[in-house]
Structures are given as structure tokens and as C-alpha cells.
Chain A
């Protein structure tokens, strides 16, 4: 049995490397995206084999699902802008080869080589299994308010890191709303009837799965980021099936949804400090409800933010002509 699993692991590892090489080698952009998504799914499987189901869920939902959707949307956008949307041969369109001086290529090769040597040295000489936080986490688990160690680390022991990761997502959506104004509008593709039926069937299920993944995070793998990504898929379906059309009147609500997680997280962190505690130090007994409150709000924010990143623009902003001046004041 062990041998079979070992064989499976080795094949999986080879497959992942092969998919990575293929994704880099293939010149057809659509095929490249497909390779990338497959690569992500296989990597998620590898995480499962490494007994890291939380990472596997995140990889599958965010690294593969949402990122794949973003890549496909970008590809659609590029082909629409270049006017090759309806040409079948455009599928295998090559990006133009940029002219790079040989010296730059050589310098890049040397530096990449050095980094690879550093990586190899770090990897080869590293111990097989480090001490890690396992013992410290196990000791502190009873006071954490949750039963799943990963959730305890993310939402309690190192909640500050998690808050700032949600802040990163907020910064990303602000930057995207800022950038996208200078690009021409591209409508999402119109979906056929099969798709509409599919969406109707899948939507309620996805909502249930998303909420479940969030709720399960307290005792089992899952949590805000994974649940948020599944709920974001609901948002994507709503956007693509035109059930929901973003309108300028929704801007304020969207901004509110984006900041909800950060605001509640910050508020809880500071309010618990009121009675002489440290910031982020949940009062005993209140840890579980507070963590659930934070996770719930953060999930909503993540779902809204990821869906907004897919939509890619502030609702109702008119594109302006591209500014070709060499600099700006």
C-alpha cells in the first residue's frame, strides 16, 4: 500500500513539474491558461498528500479557481482589444518577441543561476522536518477558543498577520479600481442558455458550500479565505450571467463591503484592549464568538473583493482616452 502511494506521489511530482514546463513552453495563450489551471489543481492534490488540507483548499479555490477566471477574463479582454476575438486562428496567437540585448539576457541568466544555487543550497542542507510551532500551538490550543490549530494560529495567535493579509487584498482592489479607468471597456461575454441553466443549478449549492467551508474552519480545515473564494465564485456566476449588473449607485455599498472585514477585525482587536488587555487579546470565553464574527465579516469582504477584482473596474466609470504623454505632473 505504501509503495502504491509512493508511486502515486512520484508520478504526481513529475506531473506537476511537467505541467509547469508545459505552461511556460506553450505559446498558445489559451492553452497556457488551461495548463496553469491544471497545474494548480495538481498542486492542490500535492498539498493534500503533504497533509496540509488548508493550503490545498486555498490553492484550489484562490490559486486555481479565481486566478484561472482572472486569466481567462484577461485573455478575452486582450483578444477583444486587438480585434481577434472571432478569428479562430487567434487562439494560437503568439505574443511578439521583445528585442532584448544579449548582455541583459546573460546578466539575467547569471543572476537567476545564483538564486537557484542559493535555493538549492538552502533546500539540500535544510533539516527534513523542523521543530516548528507544533508544541507551542498544542500547549496554547485550550485557550484559543477554536479546535482547529490552523484557525487558532490565523485568527488568534497570529491574528495580526491575518489582518494585514486582508489589508493587502483591500490595497489590491483599490489599485485595480484606480488603474482600470484608463483602459477601454470590455463587456463580459454573453452566455448561452446552457450556462444560464448551469448557473441556476449551481448558485445555491455554491452558497451552501462557501458558508460550510467558513463554518467548518473552527474545527476542521477551511476558513475565511477558502470560504470567501467559494462565495466569490457565486459572485462571478452572478456577474457573467448578468443576474447582477454593477451600477454607479452600488459604489458606496461595494466600498463598504471591501472594508467590512478589515474594519470589524480592527474594531475587535482594539475594543478587546479596552479592559487592560493587549490588542488582539480576546477575553476568555468570548474568543470563539469573536473569532466567528471576524471570520464571517472577513469572508464577506474577501468574496466581494475577489468578485470585484474579476469585474475589474469601479461600477459605471467611463473609460478615458489613453494618455500618451511621456510623464505626468
Chain B
């Protein structure tokens, strides 16, 4: 505890938990508590990254017992990067939420209750996310996933609309089923190895039973991260939530299960070639099906939600790009894409929420008829799309470049084709939205004053804009980011 690195790790876990308690007990002050904790967590994440950069990895043995009897927290480059992304996106979304739900004084009874409940749920979600990124024990990861799941379901139904409640119920069923499969897998691993920590998993003899147990865990996690064809719950859940909640669900929540899959691949003894090919095929399905659905979506937020499905698929293609032998490198491409998607999607959902608030609807077909053009929010949306499509110099571009480079080096040109197809599709469906932003000839004529590009601007537009710009600019410092991700992996993949 005296070491600064360990201090930041414990702070990242307990600060949001204490904040959640305070925000729930003091509902009137929830926005201040929540915003303060979000900024505090960002500070702690920066401190942690600084320490990881200078001293390397760190471990906290909770209770002083140490693994395998006790539970260890561990941080390396990948964990620290995920924590920093979560904290940064979370802080920006919190700013957006202060705007959406009103500050100290609720603007109406309609926003009073969502405002009261958003903060404790979001801070509990943050606790769970940070716990996953610090965790090294598969049972503990299951518990953290449950914390995330309940908080996320709460955020999904925050608006209280019928569509949101229905989507939230579907999400909860999918989520519980996924958690159950994960738990059964964990149970079978424990039965065979007698321990639950990553260290025990890495040292185990690969056996048929262990593969079956890990396959169960994989299916449960795929359901949680909405990998095709287990994505059915995601579009409705993410599209019907309030904008800040959508941003959190899409940018952060699905990443927790995805991160656990990456960690399992890292620590499991001899992942089979079949599993890796299966991941690539499911990812391909997600890219194609998600793209078609995004092209057909009639509402802006639904399109953005389907784009999450395709991006999750892309991340699995990134993991599969070079087969089992290539995992030692391909996890980095996946990690870069996870970070890029988190930053860009958080910005995009906030921007979509602002556009909807200013225009009054989010039907893509009628965006170009609106005389109101919230220029800053549209710019934020476009910047986020640049990173998601993968145009240089964005972080998304670096990720896709690494996927294609790795796939070519391994001779797997089919993954290159898939990645390119996904990129073209994403250009196509985001262009539907851009056309709505940029066409002016269909604006209904009799509007006094004509098109008002300046209307629909608010100081709150700068939050998603800054986040989206960050997603683009991070591509310029890709080399240090990649170096940072490798901290604790000096020997590459174990």
C-alpha cells in the first residue's frame, strides 16, 4: 500500500464504489458526487499509467494471502490502457450526463428520477469495469461481470420508455444466460485445476475437459460482448437507452467481456486452431450482418448500435488474423481496436444524442429536411466516424492497418478481404448520415430565416467533439501506445 502504483490500483477500485454509495444515499448531490468521482478516477488512471510507464507492472495481494488462495490484483500495460480509456470516456460521458439530466436542480419531474439513478448505477458500473481490468482470478471476474451486468441493465431502462424496458428485459435474459455459462465454465476449470487464478490456468496441462470448460466460458462471454450470432439483444438495448447510457453501454460495457476473452486466450494452455478460426468466422458474420443492418437502419442511434456489432466482429477478426501462432502479435491489433472503438463510440453516441435533442428526431431519412443543423455535434459525429471507418491518422486506422499487415504476413489474405469489406460497408452506412448533414436542398421551404446552421449549439457539444478528436489524434502517437501495451509482456505472449 505504500507504493504509489498499488495505491492507484486500490483507488481505482474503491473510489467509484464509495462514490456510488454516496450518490445513492445523497440523491440531491448525486451529480456533483458523480462528476467528482469520474474526474478523480481519471486522475487515478493517469497516475497509474504514469507509474506503469516508469516502474512497470504491479500486484496487490488482497488480504495478504496471495493467489491461489486469495485474490490478486495485477496491472500491466494492457490493463492500464483499458483503465485509462474507461476513465477518460467515462469522464466525458459524465459531462454529457450532467447536461442531459440537468445539474443540481432538475429541470422537470421527468428528468428527476433518471438523474437520481444514473449516477449510482454508473459508478457501480465503473467499479465493475475497473475490477475486471485489475482482476486475475476467473471467479472474481465472474462476480465483476455480474456487477457490470446489473448496473448496465439499470442504465438500459433508465428512460423508462416501453421500448427501453422491453430491450432491457431481453438484455437481462441474455446477460444472465451468458453469466451462467461463464460460471459453469469457471466451475469446471476449478474442478480440474483446483485453482482459479490466471497463473494456475497458464501452467495447466491442456486436456479435453479443460478445452470444453474454456469453450463454455467463451460462449458465455461472446453472449455478453454481443458477438454474432449472439448479438440479438444489443441493437435494441443500445439504441433505446438515453444518450449517456448508450455511450457507456456501447463504448465500455461490451469491452469488459471482450477483455476477459483476450486474457483467457493469453493464459489458456494451447488455444486450438479451431477456436481461433471460429472467432474469425463469427467476427466475419458480425461484420457482414451488422453492416447490412446498419445500411437498413432507419434511426441514427440504431445505426450506431449496429456499427458496434460490426466493430466487435472486427476485433475478433483481429484476434484471428494470424492463427494461433500469430496470437503473440495479433492481440495488440485487437487491443488498439478496442481502445479506438471505446473512444470513438462514446463520442458518437453522445453526438447522436445531441443531434436528436436539437433536431427533434433521429430518423436518418429526414435529417436533411431539418432546418436545424447542430454543426458541432455533427462534426463530432463525423470525427468519430473517421476513427470507426479507419481513415488515417486515426487510432482505428492503426488498428485496421495492423490487422491487414499481420494477416498478409501470415498469408491469410481472406482476413484482409473481410477487413476491407467491413471498411467499405462502414463508409457506406456512415455516408447515409453525412448526406443528411450536408444536403440542404430538401429543407422544407417555408422556414423563417432559412437553414440555421448556428442553432443547436451548446457548450456540451465540446465534450463529444474533444473525445472524437482524441480518437483521431491518438493515431499520431500509436507507437508509444503500442510500446505501453507491451509493458509486462516483455517476453511476448507467454
Q: Do A and B bind each other?
A: yes
Q: Which residues from chain A sit less than 8 Å from chain B, CB to CB?
A: 107, 111, 114-115, 118-119, 121-123, 125-127, 130-133, 136-137, 140, 156-161, 164-165, 167-168, 170-172, 174-175, 177-179, 181-182, 252, 255-256, 258-259, 262-263, 266, 269-270, 273, 276-282, 320, 322-329
Least CB distance, A92 to chain B, in whole angstroms: 25
Least CB distance, A72 to chain B, in whole angstroms: 20
Identify which of A118, A322, A328 contacts B159 (C-beta below 8 A).
Answer: A328
**Those of B261-304 within 8 Å (CB) of chain A:** 299, 301
Interface string of B44-80 (1 = CB under 8 A from A): 0000000000000000111111001111000000000
Question: Which residues of A have CB within 8 Å of B208?
Answer: 121, 125
Q: 6 pairs across A/B with beta carbons < 8 Å?
A: A119-B216, A122-B213, A130-B191, A160-B71, A164-B128, A165-B146
B64 touches A281 (CB 8 A): yes
Question: Which residues of A have CB within 8 Å of B154?
Answer: 171, 174-175, 178-179
Least CB distance, A305 to chain B, in whole angstroms: 12
Question: Which residues of B have CB within 8 Å of A258?
Answer: 24
Interface string of B127-166 (1 = CB under 8 A from A): 1100100000001100110110011011001111111110
Least CB distance, B32 to chain A, in whole angstroms: 17
Least CB distance, A231 to chain B, in whole angstroms: 21
A181 touches B212 (CB 8 A): no
A132 touches B139 (CB 8 A): no
B100 touches A121 (CB 8 A): no
**Given A161-B139, A178-B113, A266-B14, are A322 and B153 neighbors across the interface (CB < 8 Å)?**
no
B216 touches A118 (CB 8 A): yes
Question: Which residues of A have CB within 8 Å of B230?
Answer: 111
Give the nearest-CB partner of B113 in chain A.
A181
**Given A115-B216, A276-B2, A327-B301, are A174 and B194 neighbors across the interface (CB < 8 Å)?**
no
Identify which of A137, A323, A329 contacts B162 (C-beta below 8 A).
Answer: A323
- Interface segment, one of B117-125, B251-259, B416-424, B464-472: B117-125
Chain B interface extent, by class: 35 or more
Least CB distance, A214 to chain B, in whole angstroms: 22
Give the nearest-CB partner of B208 in chain A.
A125
User: How many angstroms from the CA of A107 to the CA of B231 in the assembled complex?
Assistant: 13
Identify which of B24, B212, B229 contacts A174 (C-beta below 8 A).
Answer: B24
- Interface segment, one of B236-244, B316-324, B367-375, B453-461: B236-244
Identify which of B10, B121, B216, B242 contacts A328 (C-beta below 8 A).
Answer: B242
User: How many angstroms from the CA of A125 to the CA of B211 in the assembled complex?
Assistant: 10
Interface centre among B139, B146, B301, B353 (most CB of A within 10 A): B146
Question: Which residues of A have CB within 8 Å of B301?
Answer: 327
**Given A164-B143, A278-B64, are A329 and B69 neighbors across the interface (CB < 8 Å)?**
no
A115 touches B219 (CB 8 A): yes
A131 touches B194 (CB 8 A): yes
A175 touches B150 (CB 8 A): yes
B17 touches A266 (CB 8 A): yes
Q: Which residues from chain B sit less than 8 Å from chain A, CB to CB?
A: 1-2, 10, 14, 17-18, 20-21, 24-25, 27, 60-65, 68-71, 100, 113, 117, 120-121, 124, 127-128, 131, 139-140, 143-144, 146-147, 150-151, 153-154, 157-165, 168, 181, 184-185, 188, 190-195, 207-209, 212-213, 215-216, 219, 229-230, 239-243, 299, 301, 353, 356-357, 362
Give the nearest-CB partner of B120 in chain A.
A174
B1 touches A279 (CB 8 A): yes
**Given A160-B63, A178-B113, are A126 and B160 neighbors across the interface (CB < 8 Å)?**
no
**Given A115-B181, A157-B63, are A127 and B69 neighbors across the interface (CB < 8 Å)?**
no
B229 touches A126 (CB 8 A): no
Question: Which residues of B have CB within 8 Å of A263?
Answer: 21
User: How many angstroms from the CA of A149 to the CA of B475 in the assembled complex?
Assistant: 52
Identify which of A125, A165, A276, A322 contacts B207 (C-beta below 8 A).
Answer: A125
Give the nearest-CB partner of A139 in chain B.
B69
**Given A168-B147, A174-B117, are A325 and B161 neighbors across the interface (CB < 8 Å)?**
yes
A171 touches B151 (CB 8 A): yes
A171 touches B165 (CB 8 A): no
Interface centre among A170, A266, A276, A327 (most CB of B within 10 A): A327
B69 touches A157 (CB 8 A): yes
A276 touches B71 (CB 8 A): no
Question: Which residues of B have CB within 8 Å of A279?
Answer: 1, 10, 14, 60, 62-63
In the complex, besides A164-B143, A167-B127, A325-B162, 4 extra interface pairs with C-beta distance below 8 angstroms are A122-B209, A131-B194, A164-B147, A327-B362
User: How many angstroms from the CA of A107 to the CA of B184 in the assembled complex?
Assistant: 22
User: How many angstroms from the CA of A165 to the CA of B71 in the assembled complex?
Assistant: 15
User: How many angstroms from the CA of A297 to the CA of B381 in the assembled complex?
Assistant: 48
B162 touches A322 (CB 8 A): yes
Question: Which residues of B have CB within 8 Å of A322?
Answer: 162
User: How many angstroms from the CA of A119 to the CA of B161 in the assembled complex?
Assistant: 38
Identify which of A132, A179, A256, A326 contacts B194 (C-beta below 8 A).
Answer: A132
A160 touches B229 (CB 8 A): no
**Given A126-B191, A262-B21, A281-B64, are A171 and B147 neighbors across the interface (CB < 8 Å)?**
yes
Give the nearest-CB partner of B71 in chain A.
A160
Question: Which residues of A have CB within 8 Å of B191?
Answer: 126-127, 130
Question: Which residues of A have CB within 8 Å of B124?
Answer: 167, 170-171, 174
Give the nearest-CB partner of B18 in chain A.
A266
Give the nearest-CB partner of A176 in chain B.
B154
User: How many angstroms from the CA of A181 to the CA of B353 in the assembled complex?
Assistant: 24
Question: Which residues of B have CB within 8 Å of A127?
Answer: 191-192, 209
Question: Which residues of B have CB within 8 Å of A273?
Answer: 1, 10
**Given A115-B216, A172-B150, are A277 and B121 neighbors across the interface (CB < 8 Å)?**
no
A329 touches B219 (CB 8 A): no
Give the nearest-CB partner of B172 in chain A.
A175
**Given A122-B188, A136-B68, A273-B1, are A327 and B17 neighbors across the interface (CB < 8 Å)?**
no
Least CB distance, B302 to chain A, in whole angstroms: 9
Least CB distance, B361 to chain A, in whole angstroms: 9
User: How many angstroms from the CA of A280 to the CA of B131 in the assembled complex?
Assistant: 15
User: How many angstroms from the CA of A168 to the CA of B70 in the assembled complex?
Assistant: 20
User: How many angstroms from the CA of A262 to the CA of B18 in the assembled complex?
Assistant: 9
User: How many angstroms from the CA of A322 to the CA of B160 in the assembled complex?
Assistant: 8
A161 touches B69 (CB 8 A): no
Question: Which residues of A have CB within 8 Å of B216?
Answer: 115, 118-119, 122
B24 touches A118 (CB 8 A): no
Give the nearest-CB partner of A123 in chain B.
B188
User: How many angstroms from the CA of A194 to the CA of B146 in the assembled complex?
Assistant: 41
Question: Which residues of B have CB within 8 Å of A269?
Answer: 14
Least CB distance, A262 to chain B, in whole angstroms: 6
Question: Which residues of B have CB within 8 Å of A172?
Answer: 150
A328 touches B240 (CB 8 A): yes
Give the nearest-CB partner of B211 in chain A.
A121
B14 touches A270 (CB 8 A): yes
Give the nearest-CB partner of B245 in chain A.
A328
B140 touches A160 (CB 8 A): yes
User: How many angstroms from the CA of A142 to the CA of B375 in the assembled complex?
Assistant: 67
User: How many angstroms from the CA of A219 to the CA of B41 in the assembled complex?
Assistant: 40
Question: Which residues of B have CB within 8 Å of A140?
Answer: 65, 69
Interface centre among B24, B60, B146, B353 (most CB of A within 10 A): B24
Question: Which residues of B have CB within 8 Å of A159?
Answer: 62-63
User: How many angstroms from the CA of A109 to the CA of B195 in the assembled complex?
Assistant: 33
